[in-house]
Amino acid sequence: MSSATFDSVQAYESARETLIQQDRSLRLDYKRPPLTQDEAAADQYIRQLRAQEAKSVWGASHEDVPHPFPGMEFLTGKAIVEQTELFKLLKKMPKGALLHCHLDATVDAKVLLQLALEHPEIHVRANSPLASDCVRTALPEFKPIFSSDAKTTSSVCASSGYEAGSWVPIVKARESFDEALGGPEGFDKWVLSGLMINASEAYDTHNTIEKIWEKFISTFGVARGIIHYVPIFSKYIKASLLASIEDGISYIEPRIYFQDEFMCGVDGEVNVPHRQWLQMFDTVVQGLHAELANQGRQEEFVGARLIYSVGKTLTPEQLKWYTDDCIQLKQQFPHIMAGFDLVGPENISVPLKTYVPTLLEFNAKVKSLGLELPLILHAGETLGDGDEPDSNLYDAILLGTKRIGHGFSLAKHPELLRLCREGEILIEVCPISNEVLRLTSSMPMHPLPILINHGVHVAICSDDPCQWGSMGLTCDFYQVIASSEVTGLIMLGEMAKDSIVYSRMSDNDKTRAMTTWNRRWAAYVKELASLGRSTESQ
Amino acid sequence: MSSATFDSVQAYESARETLIQQDRSLRLDYKRPPLTQDEAAADQYIRQLRAQEAKSVWGASHEDVPHPFPGMEFLTGKAIVEQTELFKLLKKMPKGALLHCHLDATVDAKVLLQLALEHPEIHVRANSPLASDCVRTALPEFKPIFSSDAKTTSSVCASSGYEAGSWVPIVKARESFDEALGGPEGFDKWVLSGLMINASEAYDTHNTIEKIWEKFISTFGVARGIIHYVPIFSKYIKASLLASIEDGISYIEPRIYFQDEFMCGVDGEVNVPHRQWLQMFDTVVQGLHAELANQGRQEEFVGARLIYSVGKTLTPEQLKWYTDDCIQLKQQFPHIMAGFDLVGPENISVPLKTYVPTLLEFNAKVKSLGLELPLILHAGETLGDGDEPDSNLYDAILLGTKRIGHGFSLAKHPELLRLCREGEILIEVCPISNEVLRLTSSMPMHPLPILINHGVHVAICSDDPCQWGSMGLTCDFYQVIASSEVTGLIMLGEMAKDSIVYSRMSDNDKTRAMTTWNRRWAAYVKELASLGRSTESQ
């Protein structure tokens, strides 16, 4: 490899080309069969468009965005992303499966608020009377209330003498929201800001992993008061699935948070067990199949399964109850339960190694019962280097995880990179989530290219699209493709295919999903190729 | 690796330990011979101190630092870093060699200003008359002027009717600096802000790679007006070497920027050729050896060599003149010229591949003349993924570079990681530089752990300590050790040893450097071990 070995510039250039090919030989878009003519033309067109918009869009000045660049902080750059032609074209791409998202965070915040407003029994309260100095920090809390002895307060605003913590019917609270605080629209803003993370929080007031996680966790508390209520839950699931289908996702495998043992029933009693949650889920999925079939759209939706998840705050003894619960649910709903996971802010959570005995026992029981119920664990969602959060990766892999949620710190581990590549453990990479939650400052700093170049299987995932306002996968796909030169449309396609291969759907569904994906992909690249030709001829 | 293979928690734990060892087996601090008793105790003490100060110092609240954390943005966190005990102890560590810095950026800005003030023939001018609204953006420019027809303006301030661009004697300009702008101290501030990068620039006004590079390059223009003047140059070199020695660095190998063919002589004429620059350098180094020997401090300084560097703005034809010049200088000063390099903002510079024919020719000529004059190239100082700047890494390696300056994007390249590890190409990692110049937002996001864990040889370097106010290597060492769990004192020691091994000093000097380093290291860890014991017994 010494320069002395080159007799000519030509010999150098040939060695250079060989070296580049060798360096990229593990990449899935370099290993795959040759491109079709349409694929090659589509890839070419997307590359041209990306290069052109890097100048025309990202190189232009934008009011309120002092430093625009491709792959920039999503919450600041979102409006710019959405005006690109590249974004619009990616929207149409068949995305395959969504393998990493949290069910409670998959519906647009506005839609969720609308669902709440359609139910007058939903009440809201604030932890302090709302006035201009606290409307940004006081959190709304929701709960269905039927009892007639609910207090008669009709506003959450300080001007009306609101007593912190009293429940107010949501519609009244909205109607009576102080004009000074924006009236009903001000109420909506207040609720949405409790359900979402905004740019100022992520990049200014809460600009560390620990601080933004505090805000992040609070949004789930706000949302669950609405979602975990039977009459809303079914509608919510449907909205969630439709948001994915809308974006070209044909199969969804969300984590469902089962730490609460019950949700609120139609009578306002919190007594509806997990079993019924799954029945509702099943009913919605079946209903959606029928509905889409009626519209001739059955190709767009293969199905959905759920990964049982609980928080890494439990004691091992508490965890035992949940793993048993998960096994029972799997036995009752084998076509729905896809796996088991533990979630939470990795830097401050109980490390996986604490749960090893319980999880080994779970694995053994699953095996002895002949169930298909693997661990699909979050791990390495951290900047740690050899500390406990980072070391969760060792446990996830040793515990036999089928995929790794995030795996942000995986790039630091040569042996684990090899095990994931050779052991076919897919990494569920959540670009925007990682950036908003401050693991990376922008997409160009994200370790995704390291994983891709090391030949590790990856699926791009949205994690919590409600919180960052990025329904579907298009925003995440955009961030990935906009901030690389080597990764183009073909690599996005390989990741979409992998999302199907590494999903937990049935073999039959997988075949069907892959067949329809291939068909939709062929149509998609054909359309792009034709766009490319018409652009050339202009 | 499936969990089914574990019959017991004990079997699991043993497999876990094996996996961790395997994953870390390429790390130099895991491959080295067993620790001495003092090393083990010192390492232990530093780990305890780090953990303790992560809470007591970084966990405390600090005025003006809203989000303190270990490894945070250096320009914001510097004052906190410097108050830690860990920093004070690292200051005493023998650092080995400084392998990557730019000579024009190695002296504290205040010292540089003082050097200028000692020479009344130095004049200053501003590109606009200074007033409160422009004092932050108007750059000072310096130049020695002797001719009597220099204009008699005596202030650069708007209030005195300063005409933009007229030269003013530095001492007068300082004395007459508007009281409203801070008087003489205001003048100093103005000059220092032209020589350095401050937190507000790096993290706010210029918070992208492209923008901060504009500011960064401007600082060199300000500095060179003072440095590239014979009577100052020698004093400057001495100050530079002493700043390193002061910090426990025993050998320095700076890049010297030779793009200007001449510097300014004692008569004010810009006609002093490169040969004389090296003569001055040689004289200072020899003088310093003598001076330190007189003080019984000869162990502290082994020597210094220079890497010829020019900008990646040249045409290949222009480059030819410089490579020839470099070879001639090597023939005249074989004990000073260490190698050849090309520098500049990688994202917008001419890619290395453009220079391949010229550099192959250079290599061939060097070889035919039997010279020791390798390429020691900057490459991969970018967030690019497969674009031209990122691909400079292929060329650097194919061109036979002995080390890689920065190699920030190397982690993306599995084959290049292997080539660097097996081909013993050391990476000159500049933590603070990378962070201030916005390749990474903070040290925990830096790819250094990836390189270390993949067994690539690394030396920690300061790059441009004047610009970030981080004289020596202690600040960079601090940022590295504070933001990791696995990397401790022993790894810092391995990197210090590697900095000697991969330097371009003579074999004799290398032996001497290593012997004295080992002696100083033994004393250092002994002191730390004893500190650890006395802490324990408290």
pLDDT at B151: 59
Outline where DSSP puts E strands in B425-515: 426-429, 458-460
pLDDT at A3: 47
pLDDT at A201: 96
pLDDT at B317: 97
Residues A173 and A305 grouped into a single domain: no
pLDDT at A133: 86
> A-contacting residues of B 458-517, CB under 8 Å?
483-487
Residue B136: pLDDT band (50, 70, 90) is: confident
β-bridge partners, B123: B143, B169
Comparing CB atoms, the residue among B22, B375, B419 nearest residue A415 is B22
Residues A205 and A212: their CA atoms lie apart, in Å, by: 9
pLDDT at B397 over 60: yes
Residues of A in contact with B4 (CB under 8 A): 363, 367, 400
**Closest-approach residue (CA) in chain B for A446:** B445
Long-range contacts of the stretch A274-280 (C-beta < 8 A, 24+): A274/A325, A274/A329, A275/A329, A275/A332, A276/A230, A277/A233, A278/A306, A278/A329, A278/A332, A278/A333, A278/A336, A278/A337, A280/A230, A280/A233, A280/A234, A280/A237
Residue A454, classified by CB atoms within 10 Å of its CB into exposed (0-12), middle (13-18) or buried (19+), is buried
Residues of B in contact with A390 (CB under 8 A): 485
Residues B425 and B375: their CA atoms lie apart, in Å, by: 12
pLDDT at B124: 96
Residues B353 and B400 grouped into a single domain: yes
Residues of A in contact with B354 (CB under 8 A): none
pLDDT at A150 over 90: no
If you average pLDDT over residues A317-324, what whole number do you get?
Answer: 98
Q: Does A400 touch chain B (CB under 8 A)?
A: yes
Each residue's pLDDT tens digit, B501-537:
999 999 999 999 999 999 999 999 999 999 999 988 7
Within a domain: A370: yes
Residues B212 and B258 grouped into a single domain: no
Each residue's pLDDT tens digit, A474-528:
999 999 999 999 999 999 999 999 999 999 999 999 999 999 999 999 999 999 9
Residue B159: pLDDT band (50, 70, 90) is: confident
Residues of B in contact with A397 (CB under 8 A): 1, 19
**Closest-approach residue (CA) in chain B for A9:** B357
Q: Does B413 touch chain A (CB under 8 A)?
A: yes
Within a domain: B56: no
Residues A219 and A235: their CA atoms lie apart, in Å, by: 20
To the nearest whole Å, the CA of B264 is away from the closest chain A CA by 37
Q: Is B396 left (phi over 0), alpha (psi -120 to 50) or beta?
A: alpha
Q: How far is CA B463 from CA B225, B381, B436, in A?
A: 20, 12, 11
Neighbour order of strands in the sheet with A122-126: A140-144, A122-126, A168-169
CB contact under 8 Å between A23 and B390, yes or no, is no
If you average pLDDT over residues B397-413, what whole number do you get?
Answer: 98
* Domain finish residue from B218, B249, B266: B218
CB contact under 8 Å between A23 and B397, yes or no, is no
Residues A320 and A425 grouped into a single domain: yes
pLDDT at B535: 86
Within a domain: B24: no
Residue B134: pLDDT band (50, 70, 90) is: confident
Q: Does B9 touch chain A (CB under 8 A)?
A: yes
Residues B296 and B183 grouped into a single domain: no
Within a domain: B132: yes
Residue A125: pLDDT band (50, 70, 90) is: very high
Q: State ipTM.
A: 0.96
To the nearest whole Å, the CA of B118 is away from the closest chain A CA by 41
Residues A305 and A190 grouped into a single domain: no
β-bridge partners, B459: B428
If you average pLDDT over residues A454-465, what whole number do you get?
Answer: 98
Domain that holds residue B156: 117-218
CB contact under 8 Å between A439 and B449, yes or no, is no
Within a domain: B266: yes
pLDDT at B49 over 80: yes
If you average pLDDT over residues A219-231, what whole number do you get?
Answer: 97
Residues B149 and B245 grouped into a single domain: no
Q: Does B387 touch chain A (CB under 8 A)?
A: yes
* Number of domains present in the structure of chain B: 2
Comparing CB atoms, the residue among A19, A359, A486 nearest residue B415 is A19
β-bridge partners, A157: A130
Q: B79: part of which helix (H) or strand (E)? A: helix B74-82
Strand duo B262-264 + A168-169: pairing: unpaired
If you average pLDDT over residues A78-83, what whole number do you get?
Answer: 97
Q: How far is CA B310 from CA A337, B133, B273, B314, in A?
A: 63, 36, 15, 8
CB contact under 8 Å between A450 and B412, yes or no, is yes
> B-contacting residues of A 15-34, CB under 8 Å?
15-16, 19-20, 22-23, 25-26
Within a domain: B78: no
pLDDT at B3: 47
Q: Does A152 touch chain B (CB under 8 A)?
A: no
Q: Choose among B54, B170, B47, B179: nearest CA to B113.
A: B170
CB of A458 closer than 8 Å to CB of A476: no
Comparing CB atoms, the residue among A16, A444, A483 nearest residue B398 is A16
Comparing CB atoms, the residue among B398, B440, B487 nearest residue A3 is B398
Residues B141 and B238 grouped into a single domain: no
* Domain finish residue from B218, B247, B271: B218
Q: Specify the DSSP class assigned to residue A34.
A: P
* Domain finish residue from B165, B192, B218: B218
CB contact under 8 Å between B400 and A2, yes or no, is yes
With a pLDDT cut of 90, the percent of chain B lying above it is: 93
Half-sphere exposure in the Cβ direction for A169 (13 Å, CA):
15
Residue A153: pLDDT band (50, 70, 90) is: confident
Residues of B in contact with A383 (CB under 8 A): 444-445, 483
Alpha-carbon torsion (A366, A367, A368, A370), positive or negative: positive
To the nearest whole Å, the CA of A116 is away from the closest chain B CA by 36
Would you tell me the crossing angle of helices A474-482 and A489-501 to the nearest 10 degrees? 130
User: What integer best gives the mean pLDDT of chain A?
Assistant: 96
Residues of A in contact with B375 (CB under 8 A): 3
Comparing CB atoms, the residue among A359, A400, A441 nearest residue B445 is A441
Q: Choose among A375, A439, A374, A435: nearest CA to A411.
A: A439
Alpha-carbon torsion (B441, B443, B447, B450), positive or negative: negative
Each residue's pLDDT tens digit, A32-74:
999 999 999 999 999 999 999 999 999 999 989 999 999 999 9
Residues B4 and B23: their CA atoms lie apart, in Å, by: 21
Residues A175 and A261 grouped into a single domain: no
Q: What is the CATH number of the domain that holds B243?
A: 3.20.20.140
pLDDT at A1: 47
Mutate to test the interface with B, among A213, A385, A409, A483 (most CBs of B within 10 A): A385
If you average pLDDT over residues B462-479, what whole number do you get?
Answer: 98
Comparing CB atoms, the residue among A356, A386, A455 nearest residue B486 is A386
To the nearest whole Å, the CA of A282 is away from the closest chain B CA by 31
Residues B366 and B508 grouped into a single domain: yes
Within a domain: A426: yes
If you average pLDDT over residues B438-446, what whole number do you get?
Answer: 97
Residues B369 and B281 grouped into a single domain: yes
CB contact under 8 Å between B3 and A363, yes or no, is yes
Residue B436: pLDDT band (50, 70, 90) is: very high
Q: Does B10 touch chain A (CB under 8 A)?
A: no
Strand duo B122-126 + B255-257: pairing: unpaired
Q: Does A69 touch chain B (CB under 8 A)?
A: yes
If you average pLDDT over residues B196-208, what whole number do you get?
Answer: 96
User: What integer best gives the mean pLDDT of chain B?
Assistant: 96
pLDDT at B1: 47
pLDDT at A4 over 60: no
Residues B373 and B363: their CA atoms lie apart, in Å, by: 8
Q: Does B296 touch chain A (CB under 8 A)?
A: no
pLDDT at A355 over 60: yes
Each residue's pLDDT tens digit, A247-267:
999 999 999 999 999 999 999
CB of B461 closer than 8 Å to CB of B100: yes
CB contact under 8 Å between B390 and A485, yes or no, is yes
Q: Does B69 touch chain A (CB under 8 A)?
A: yes
Q: What angle do CA A285, A286, A288 make, to 5 degrees?
A: 65
> A-contacting residues of B 91-120, CB under 8 Å?
none
Residues of A in contact with B455 (CB under 8 A): 414
pLDDT at A152 over 60: yes
B296 vs A134, higher pLDDT: B296
pLDDT at A537: 78
Residues A189 and A262 grouped into a single domain: no
Within a domain: A139: yes
Q: Does A418 touch chain B (CB under 8 A)?
A: no
